[in-house]
Amino acid sequence: MLWPLLFTIFLLVVVALKYLRPRAKGCPQCGAAREGDHPLCIVCGWIYDSPADRDEDYGEHGEVETRP
């Protein structure tokens, strides 16, 4: 039978497409190209992950509106 072989090839093609897809600077959600250094996606509002800023952001959460 030829079907198991065809099915295997089909699976390989699917996996290959999945991994070969260009995942460059585009938005992970909608795929739109990133606009310069914009922190948000201009199309869907996706927040780009920037590891450099993350630590600072979390540090600021400690002091939130401490009014008397």
Instruction: Answer yes or no whether residue 29 interacts with Zn ion by CB under 5 A.
Output: yes
Least Å distance, CB 48 to Zn ion, is 9
Instruction: Answer yes or no whether residue 50 interacts with Zn ion by CB under 5 A.
Output: no
What values do phi and psi take at 47, rounded to 5? -90, 115
Instruction: Answer yes or no whether residue 8 interacts with Zn ion by CB under 5 A.
Output: no
Per the CB < 8 A criterion, the answer to whether 32 and 42 are in contact is: yes
Least Å distance, CB 51 to Zn ion, is 19
d(CA 12, CA 10): 5
Question: Which H helix or E strand runs over 47?
Answer: none
Interface positions with Zn ion (CB under 5 A): 27, 29-30, 32, 41, 43-44, 46
